[in-house]
Structure 1
């Protein structure tokens, strides 16, 4: 007896698309729904501020450590097979997350969940690239993938809040156990097996050195403020990251079949799209973790109202991708992707202005939120379709690995950087408002609690007005960082795409 059921080719493709979309929904939900339950975890698990940070960061850091390795393994052993393994592992890790009553165990389980989530993420793109090869159906498939992925990320805060309100925090994780079973059955029956015939051996040196380098870099940025960026421990971690990356470059140069084929960057469409991948995650996605804090702590909304306000930021990401794919086919990704990135940056600048308004509210934030979401919708699926569509089909696993590595490495790094910018902005505002002899360590501790939304009431030394002004200034710094950062990468992406078109014209 087998679980696989014979299906017609069209039906099989539909089932495969459903499996990919459901796994992308699970992946996104586990990024964006967990911030909504952090206050509950603080009380139930007696987790301190650092443990709460690690409950979030363990997932994204773990994702980054497996991306390129997964692309290589999928090319070698089969994308469907590795996809199925990732789904099973994600379900098991989610079960552990939901059953534990220890913050430490939850952090470890979140790391395992992130690793298996990264496996699913890479295989999603590789499966779609193999199963949908024609321009129109490929655009449709990636459009649906982008919409569902956006739903997972965009509605996560609301889903997390509703689950806690109606049941308990454990179900934020346990729901994925049941979803994993359904996804496994869909993938088993719908996904076609594919592999790279040339992937005859594993690039173990590349897998290990790149994974170690990414992990150490993310750890350095995340823990740097506590260790001290110039401390011996922090510098040692940074040194390991740099040394591992150098060894990785050497290993890839010497390998006859490298995991990370640098020659693909000679394809200007691929390079321009990868820059777009990084740009989205220097601004839009990680700010979704911090924006609910502003709505609740800065504007005074409860969790449900904050979740509803967040829809202005997320709903455009669901409506725009089909239009973006049509525009990419009619015009070219080299225009659509940089334009989308520019709109994201404009949205961040308008959000900064809205947050600094005399009577800031969701209305003053609305124009910026809408524009940022529209820009993301114009960028997300064209980026993925361009990176995988610009390389030979047998290298789809490697291409999706580079694409998702750019996304998740920039996401993990910028979650930490954006948090650092937020705390520093709050700290600078407090330092300007308080006496110059204020204790530095206590000032930073207060800044961290204000930035996380847990210190909004006045203390005996700090008034409520000073606390609110500090939070406003900190978020102003973050929005400016996101806007300028995405504009710089938009310009770079536009230039790289343009060089490719110039080269093509010169050969005509």
Structure 2
């Protein structure tokens, strides 16, 4: 293996590891619900504690890795990630687990943009970089989609703690490979960290995520929920104002005035919104409604992983020939169609003839979106500022994933709870009915004792899954239309490249 291939393998392993962790915990959710007595809101926080810290900090971490060195940043991030993962394996409460998931997400925020920055600096020839990004994209997609498989295999033989122990040696191997194969690179000219922008952006995203996750408890039209949305909106506007006035902004918001850039970011956000929301629900569907084991559930999600891997590489090869517009627009159309199809399933759906084709369609769509859209985003900044460009790309992924889990999970929780109460009201005492409404795990355990609860749980769950999938499907179709309108027809447009070559970092914008 030559040195550049080893470098690519190292960055892909690091990216795979932290993206594996975004979904490996999903297959353990039923176990957490039973063993830690966690309700649906608490399970959402277990998943989104990681995603929220990841999304909130990734922009700032991209700048830090550029400034202080990508190699030490990658080593430090992997060390912190492995330590927090090992600590998570030792806890016995939901609150402690959520706190450690936040630490793991912050570590991942340092790792992720650093891997893409290293690739951008090592592979400077455009077609080579497209191939490397395709490989990196496949590793990212495989990490997200293989999480449930890995978790299922571990839970077949061990407790839920094992899903966190397993990440420790992988992180250590990635550290050794980084020290052996990754050269040092940095950009000493990176400006100081934009602390006001960072603080306000974290507050805005945290408030929005909290409001969405807690909405089923307080009510979507309650004063608490509406106030939360208003505060999140005000903080978002404040963030834009701070960034426009800052001498060295964390994010140059004027970049989004370029519709090609903003459309690429929106495409990535929607794609990961859809994927994370789907995995959060489908793992519970398989285990609670179909009674599959954790391993059986993980294996049954493999079609998504395989399709993502194939389409990520294909997307990198097709975009230079067909154009970003055609590839991303088609991918978003396939993704939306798969969710509209999912919205029609019932509890007795045949896995081989219906669920597998749905997952393949979903994986192909997502894979076609991510690599060309990532390349479009990365074109904005030169290789010396690759950490910032990659951080913007990473932020869109994690923002999509965070909101996907929060929105789809909370929407499902509201629909599931309302439907379950409708079906079981008068048949259970109020306290038991409230507990069943808040937790699918509680309802599943109750079903073994009370006749009729199983059927009610199945009906309520499928209603929530179907309507949530319908919303995601329509969002993806809207994203497809936007991609066809806004993205460039030819990724290698000579005029666009000439304009880029003639502008300096100030004109291109610095994030």
Give TM-score, length-normalised by structure 2: 0.88
2:480 aligns with one of 482, 485, 490: 490
Judged with a 3 Å threshold, the aligned counterparts in structure 2 of structure 1 residues 128 and 456 are, in CA distance, closer, same or farther, namely farther
Q: What CA distance in whole angstroms lies between the structure 2 residues aligned with 1:21 and 1:124?
A: 8
Query: Residue 88 of structure 2 contacts residue 164 of structure 2 at CA under 8 Å; is this kept in 1?
Result: yes
Question: Which residue in 2 is equivalent to 1:415?
Answer: 405
Residues 359 and 442 of structure 1: CA distance in aligned 2, closer, same or farther (over 3 Å) = same
Distance 1:287 1:413, change over 3 A: same
Alpha carbons of structure 1 residues 220 and 295: separation in structure 2 relative to 1, 3 Å: same
Is 1:84 matched with 2:44? no
Tell me which moved more, 385-394 or 437-446.
437-446
- CA displacement 1:81-130 (0-9 Å, x = unmatched): 32222111111111211222333222211110111012111212211111
**C-alpha displacement at 1:311, in angstroms?**
1.6
1:16 to 4, 7, 12: 7
Q: Write out aligned runs for 1:271-420 (5 A).
A: 271-353=262-344, 355-356=345-346, 360-420=350-410
Cα offset, 1:358, TM superposition: 6.8
Paired residue secondary structure (1:283): helix
Which range moves more in the overlay, 273-282 or 160-169?
160-169
Given candidates 462, 478, 499, the residue that maps to 1:472 is 462
| 2:24 alignment counterpart | 33
Farther-moved stretch of structure 1 (131-140 vs 223-232)? 223-232
CA distance in 2, matches of 1:220, 1:328: 38
Superposed displacement of residue 221, structure 1: 1.0
Q: Is the 1:76–1:202 contact (alpha carbons within 8 Å) kept by the matching residues of 2?
A: no
Residues 15 and 187 in structure 1, CA contact (< 8 A), matched pair in contact too:
no
Query: Structure 1 residue 394: deviation in Å?
Result: 2.9
SS in 1 for 2:210: helix
More relative contact order in 1 or in 2 (CA 8 Å, sep 6+)?
A: 2
Contact 1:350–1:367 (Cα < 8 Å) also in 2 = no
CA, structure 1 residues 473+464, in 2 after alignment: closer, same or farther (shift >3 Å)?
same
Question: Which residue of the partner structure matches residue 481 of structure 1?
Answer: 471
1:443-462 superposed matches below 5 A: 445-450=435-440, 454=444, 457=447, 460=450, 462=452
Alpha carbons 2:417, 2:460 under 8 Å: kept: yes
Shift of the alpha carbon at 1:313? Answer: 2.5
Question: Aligned residue for 2:118?
Answer: 127
Distance 1:266 1:239, change over 3 A: closer
User: Mean Cα displacement is larger for which, 285-294 or 334-343?
Assistant: 285-294
CA distance in structure 1 between the partners assigned to 2:308 and 2:442 by the alignment: 26
| CA RMSD after TM alignment | 3.1
Secondary structure (helix, strand or coil) at the match of 2:343 reads helix
| Pair 1:94–1:433, CA change in 2 (3 A) | closer
Question: Does the 8 Å CA contact 1:67/1:405 hold for their aligned counterparts?
Answer: yes
Report the CA distance shift for 1:162/1:398 in structure 2 as closer, same or farther (over 3 A).
Answer: same
Q: How many Å separate the matches in 1 of 2:442 and 2:257?
A: 43
C-alpha contact 2:323 2:489 (8 A) present in aligned 1: no
Q: Distance in 2 between matches of 1:421 and 1:487?
A: 19
Return the offset for 1:483.
Answer: 0.8
Answer whether contact 1:277 1:406 (CA < 8 A) is retained. yes
Aligned to 2:239: 248
CA shift in 2, pair 1:312/1:418, >3 Å: same
SS at match of 1:282: helix
Asked whether the 8 Å contact 1:456–1:468 carries over to 2, the reply is: no
* Whole-Å separation in 1 of the counterparts to 2:441 and 2:37: 20
Query: d(CA) in 1 for partners of 2:18 and 2:442?
Result: 24
Who is 1:204 aligned against? 195
State the match for 2:102 in structure 1.
111
Closer/same/farther in 2, CA of residues 183 and 257 from structure 1, 3 Å limit: same
TM-score, length-scaled by structure 1? 0.88
- Cα 1:187–1:394 change in 2 (3 A) is same
* Alignment CA distance shift 1:442-1:323 (3 Å): same
Q: CA 1:250/1:99 → structure 2, altered by over 3 Å: closer, same or farther?
A: same
Distance 1:21 1:454 in 2: 39
Moved more, 392-401 or 459-468: 459-468
- Which deviates further from its counterpart, 26-35 or 223-232? 223-232
Alignment of 1:67-82 (within 5 A): 67-82=58-73
- Identify the residue that residue 5 of structure 1 maps to in structure 2: none
Q: CA deviation at 1:262?
A: 2.2
Following the alignment from structure 1 to structure 2, what is the Cα–Cα distance between the partners of residues 357 and 183? 41
What displacement does 1:472 show? 1.8
